[in-house]
């Protein structure tokens, strides 16, 4: 079976959301496992490896086609600067103010910057 056939089957499957959840959960589980083993570099590599976006691109294509993938890819680029701020806040804050506070602050800054970018850039809408 070719990739297009698999994607068409997946898009028509009643259990597709369960499959999507399991695929995403596998990446999350591998990330947590390797981090807990003291292999932070491998864990970070898995998280930033385009595997998650490859899966997302394929599944979005199966659900909505090429235009949907294009919109998603552009949106990823828009959210990259806020994401970098989020990661920087967690990096700098985890040992200084604690993990929960740094994550909370990082997510808050991510959301604020994302909303501001969405309002500033023409043609973007969440």
Query: Nearest 5 degrees, angle CA 93-CA 98-CA 101?
Result: 80
**Residue 1: which residues within 8 A CB-CB, separation 6 or more?**
9
pLDDT tens track for 8-60: 776 677 777 787 788 778 888 988 999 999 998 888 888 777 777 888 888 88
Q: Report d(CA 67, CA 61) in Å as an integer.
A: 8
Query: What whole-number distance in Å separates Cα of residue 96 and Cα of residue 55?
Result: 35
Q: For residue 34, what are its two tokens?
A: 């390797």
Contact yes or no for 2/62 (Cβ under 8 A): no
- On the 0-12 / 13-18 / 19+ scale of CB atoms within 10 A, 89 is buried
Place of tokens 């390797």: 34
Contacts of 47 (CB under 8 A, 6+ apart): 27, 31
Q: What are the backbone angles phi and psi of residue 68, rounded to the nearest 5°? A: -65, -40
Asked whether the predicted pLDDT for residue 1 surpasses 70, the reply is no
- Answer whether residue 105 shows pLDDT above 90: yes
Q: Running DSSP on this structure, what letter comes out for residue 28?
A: H
- pTM of the predicted model over 0.85: no
Comparing 48 with 119, the larger pLDDT belongs to: 119
The interaxial angle of helices 51-64 and 66-93, nearest 10 deg, is 150
């Amino acid at each position: 079976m070719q990739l297009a056939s698999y994607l068409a089957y997946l898009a028509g499957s009643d259990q597709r959301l369960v499959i999507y959840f399991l695929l995403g959960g596998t990446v999350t589980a591998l990330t947590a496992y390797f981090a807990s083993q003291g292999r932070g570099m491998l864990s970070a590599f898995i998280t930033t490896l385009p595997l998650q976006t490859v899966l997302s691109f394929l599944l979005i294509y199966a659900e909505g086609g090429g235009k949907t993938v294009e919109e998603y890819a552009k949106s990823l680029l828009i959210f990259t600067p806020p994401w970098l701020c989020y990661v920087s806040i967690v990096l700098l804050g985890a040992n200084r103010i604690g993990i929960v506070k740094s994550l909370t602050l990082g997510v808050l800054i991510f959301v604020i910057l994302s909303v501001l970018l969405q309002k500033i850039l023409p043609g973007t809408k969440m």
